[in-house]
Structure 1
Amino acid sequence: MALARRATHAGSWYTNSGSELNKQLEDWLEEAELSHGPARAIISPHAGYSYCGECASFAYRQISPIVVRRIFILGPSHHVRLAGCALSSASIYQTPLYDLHIDKQVYRELKETGHFEMMDMTTDEEEHSIEMQLPFIAKTMEDFKDSFTIVPILVGSLSPDREALYGRLLAPYLADPQSLFVISSDFCHWGQRFRYTYYDRSCGPVHRSIQNLDKMGMNIIETMNSPSFTDYLKKYGNTICGRHPIGVLLQTIQCLKGNANGQRMNLKFLKYAQSSQCINMNDSSVSYASASLVVE
């Protein structure tokens, strides 16, 4: 019997009503503009949909579902300390729309590298970074629900060398036009409750300082230069929770660009939002951004 990971955040972070969720996702995706596709990889936020659903739709709108047959989902670990990356022990991920099936062949190949550990079901079900991408994936791929698989990967606190290692391991999959990479990340978590209150007063209001800081990071990510992104994080300490999955993506891109038949790639941010606009030092907010990588 297939082991299923439940949609544990349905009914709280997003609705557990399949029909309601379908309509919500449909509306967001219809309103989002297709401007940078077809995507080979996307960066998408993972907060409650009332905060980030509209923003996330701009990333998913860039996907060409007729092409995609395998979807890698890289999400940061919020609750468990990992020095590497972990794979799920489940075979199926449930959503209120329909079940998504894990790619057993790819999982077997990744396990054989010796660089992936397994996460237990409790860790898997407590983590939201992968789950929050699943309904969007299910909706985007609904016309091809029986012809694609997913590869969930929980990413730990990696050193730059470890990000490079996983970049090399995943590069052959990103090179496949039938693969899609979904990088799950929110951006700046600002406020005393996040223990991060960087404020550049020259920007004016606090929320403008936060936006400037995020845009600086987004501009660097668009250059696809991993060392520059690492330097930015060291300098400003921006609380981008998916910084390591983003780092792995940048290293994966670098591997492809370094091949003899290096392909031209273009990574572009399409939407930015904040959960609220901070005015004073007692406020707090989380930032969201969506991006798409196109391989020409």
Structure 2
Amino acid sequence: MSIRKTVVAGSFYPNEKDEILRYINHFNSFEDTDETFEDIKAIIVPHAGYIYSGYTANLAYKKASLKSYKRVVVIGPSHNVYLKGASVALYDEYETPLGNLSIDKEFSQYLIDKYDFLDFNIECEFEHSTEVQVPFIKHYFGDVEIVEIIYGEIDYKEISKIIDEVLNSSVNLVVISTDLSHFYTLEEANNLDGFFLSAVQNKNLDLFNSCEACGKVGVKALINWAIQNRYESKLLHYCTSADVSKDKNRVVGYTSALIGR
């Protein structure tokens, strides 16, 4: 049996089950926002260490978990490997400290066979943008099947085709992973991230040209899908690393959002 092993457990998030649950219970101890949809099709979540962006991500997962899904498709940018197109994981299972998840290899292979910009690149197994999502998925959705897609140089319209394919079925949830601006002052980060937040909230593709985000292509693809299919967006939370580190000179931004009706 092939397993996509954890590579950032113990750094981005704890490598012990009890520690992860302690984080999630802590996040859920705060008063929640009422913003949600009856039918959530996709969520946008950050992928930094849980200490920085876990609360923000958890909000989206908690709201999405009110509905049951058969399959969760996680889409994130490649940080370590240059690739054209995108890689779809073809392992049997995905390791997490909360217990392994089954990878839907049949559906993953179907996507690779159908779209010529998809393949399986084993070097992408070191990607954290998707991995940090998996403990949340395991916690909130139990034994759901997972599909991992990591993209490199690719047009957002190509990813939109994948999202359209996935969301043709009501049993699927799409997770788009991104952080926002990196290493600006707090004031500069808030300004740049404001364009991103407005682009998501108002479903304005042009505004993505004025912001920075490592997963911008994936988010733009999702918003493009939402526009075409008449779904709405709701921002849940925005924060920066300065909220935790108190360093306002080199800031990273984080947000979470819902797509649904």
Alignment map for 1:264-279 (pairs within 5 Å): 264-276=230-242, 279=248
How many pairs are equivalent?
Answer: 255
2:189 is matched with: 210
Q: CA deviation at 1:30?
A: 4.6
Please give the TM-score of this superposition, normalised by the length of structure 2.
Answer: 0.90
Contact conserved, 2:33 with 2:236, CA < 8 A, in 1? no
Question: What is the SS of the residue equivalent to 1:293?
Answer: strand
> Would the aligned equivalents of 2:91 and 2:105 in 1 still touch at CA under 8 Å?
no
Contact 2:84 2:117 in 1 (8 A): no
Superposed CA deviations along residues 95-115 of structure 1, whole A, max 9, x for unmatched, are 000111111221122011122
Larger radius of gyration: 1
Aligned pairs for 1:121-132 (under 5 A) are: 122-124=123-125, 126-132=126-132
Q: Distance in 2 between matches of 1:240 and 1:166?
A: 16
Q: How does 1:62-73 map to 2 (within 5 A)?
A: 62-73=63-74
Partner of 1:177: 170
Conserved? CA contact 2:236–2:256, under 8 Å: yes
- 1:41–1:182 CA contact under 8 A, matched in 2: yes
TM-score by length of 1: 0.80
Matching residue of 1:153: 149
Q: Which residue of 1 aligns with 2:27?
A: 28
Q: Aligned in 2, Cα 1:8/1:165: closer, same or farther, shift over 3 Å? A: closer
Match of 1:117 in 2: 119
Paired letter, 1:285: V
Name the counterpart of 2:217.
244
Runs of 4+ off more than 3 Å: none
Query: C-alpha separation between the residues in 2 aligned to 1:150 and 1:213?
Result: 32
Cα deviation for residue 178 of structure 1 reads 1.4
Q: Give unmatched runs, 5+ long, in structure 1.
A: 192-205, 258-263
- Hey, what's the Cα distance between the residues in 2 that align with 1:97 and 1:254? 36
**Does structure 1 retain, via aligned residues, the 8 Å contact 2:73–2:175?**
yes
Report the AA paired with residue 6 of structure 2: A
* TM-aligned CA distance change 1:176 to 1:224, over 3 Å: farther
Structure 1 residue 154, shift from structure 2 partner: 0.3
Letter in 1 for 2:192: L
Question: Which residue number corresponds to residue 141 of structure 1?
Answer: 141
Instruction: Report the CA distance between 1:59 and its aligned residue.
Output: 1.3
Contact 2:90 2:109 in 1 (8 A): no
